Amino acid sequence: MIIDPNGIGPAGRDTSLAAPLAQARAYARASRAPATRLAYRRDWAAFTAWCHARDQGALPADPRLVALFLAHEAARGLRPSSIGRRLAAIAFAHRQAGCVPPQAQPQAGVLAEVVAGIRRQAGTAPRRKQAADDRVLQAMLAALPATNLKAIRDRALLAFGMAGAFRRSELAGLRCDQLDRTPEGMTVRFGATKTDPEGRGVCIAIPEGRRIRPVALLEAWLEAAGITDGAVFRDVVRGQASAGPISDRTVARVVQRAAQAAGYDPARFGGHSLRAGFLTSGARAGASLFRLKDVSRHRSTDVLAAYVREAGLFTDHAGETFL
């Protein structure tokens, strides 16, 4: 039997298997979220370019070659989390091509040692972007007083993004058919997400609000841009909303511009700042882990617990009465 180049099923002249093979390939691609697949493509392109510059073959790749590549990436400042994703992308590309991933090859020991050394040398504490909590976000919104279409969009993106604890890929990919207006605010329905890969679906609520007023700001953007279907957040070109959605990088740029306008260091903020801002504000207001999880849709409460601990570091402090 001749194996298909994508590692799925037989290939060759048997046309009776063409349709099942195409469907199997589609299911294999759907095993990763769109944002993950995009990141993997970039990681794989970086690896193949590195190999080409050194006249080395990228597929299949010797584990020792992959170890050299990851060491090179670490030396130029890539974070351990990005190193881990690079390795996962290389393994994914190998599996898609029907090859044994470097991590499963006989010489994989040296690769594991290099990855462990990178993580140990860099430390294990995550470096988070600063949270755009309710106070920071109100300062950002106040710093964007302009009435042009881009400013209207940016205010809506900031407020709605924080209120829904959105990941930046979710915010960039948000569509009108996910939104439903209710007397209390708005609901947002998700299909397959990072923590719901099977696509069972989940619905979150965005309240009207009294200070940030995320729903009113979103509706102001949709009305000003004339958007009734398709992508919610779009690029603004020459004063008009484009047809397609923004990228997740645009989300980060909007947050950083608003942070700078409000007098903060923009380098300390990013796309994750909105999601972190909701969790920080909710924890500080006394929301339980389970109520936070209703909005953030985390699979585990471990990450949420860290936000609760940090928000309450000075609450009922052991030294409050004598320091």
3-state helix, strand, coil in the chain (%, to 5): 55, 10, 35
Is 70 exceeded by the pLDDT of residue 242? yes
Looking at residue 2, its pLDDT comes to 40
Domain co-membership, 184 together with 111: no
Looking at residue 283, its pLDDT comes to 84
In a domain, 7, yes or no: no
Q: What is the mean pLDDT of the chain?
A: 83
Q: Out of 122, 149, 174, pick the residue that ends a domain.
A: 122
Cβ atoms of 100 and 60 closer than 8 Å:
yes
Lowest average pLDDT, out of 48-62, 170-184, 223-237, 297-311, goes to 297-311
In a domain, 145, yes or no: yes
Give the residue numbers spanning the domain of 251. Answer: 134-311
Looking at residue 196, its pLDDT comes to 52
Distance, in Å, from the CA atom of 95 to the CA atom of 129, rounded to the nearest integer, reads: 33
In a domain, 300, yes or no: yes
Single-letter residue type at 194:
K
Distance, in Å, from the CA atom of 156 to the CA atom of 152, rounded to the nearest integer, reads: 6
Domain co-membership, 88 together with 138: no
Q: Out of 122, 147, 169, pick the residue that ends a domain.
A: 122
Looking at residue 191, its pLDDT comes to 74
Calculate the CA 283 to chain-centre distance.
Answer: 22
In a domain, 280, yes or no: yes
Is 50 exceeded by the pLDDT of residue 166? yes
Domain co-membership, 267 together with 164: yes
Domain co-membership, 175 together with 283: yes
Distance, in Å, from the CA atom of 166 to the CA atom of 205, rounded to the nearest integer, reads: 12
In a domain, 150, yes or no: yes
Q: What digits encode the pLDDT tens for the residues 294-305?
A: 888 887 777 777
Domain co-membership, 253 together with 278: yes
Q: What digits encode the pLDDT tens for the residues 17-43?
A: 667 766 766 666 666 667 778 888 999
Looking at residue 212, its pLDDT comes to 92
Domain count, the chain: 2
Looking at residue 157, its pLDDT comes to 96
Beta pairing class for 10-11 and 2-3: antiparallel
Domain co-membership, 117 together with 141: no
Domain co-membership, 192 together with 235: yes
What is the CATH classification number for the domain harbouring 114?
A: 1.10.150.130
Domain co-membership, 199 together with 237: yes
Q: What digits encode the pLDDT tens for the residues 256-293?
A: 999 999 999 998 999 889 998 998 888 888 888 888 88
pLDDT band of 5, cuts 50, 70, 90: very low
pLDDT band of 200, cuts 50, 70, 90: low
pTM, two decimal places: 0.63
* Average pLDDT estimate for 57-84: 88
Q: What digits encode the pLDDT tens for the residues 111-149?
A: 899 888 888 876 654 566 788 899 999 999 999 988 899
Domain co-membership, 55 together with 139: no
Domain co-membership, 89 together with 229: no
**Residue 194, both tokens:** 């990072």
Looking at residue 294, its pLDDT comes to 83
Domain co-membership, 164 together with 290: yes
The total number of residues shown for the chain amounts to 323
What is the CATH classification number for the domain harbouring 247?
A: 1.10.443.10
Distance, in Å, from the CA atom of 82 to the CA atom of 64, rounded to the nearest integer, reads: 19
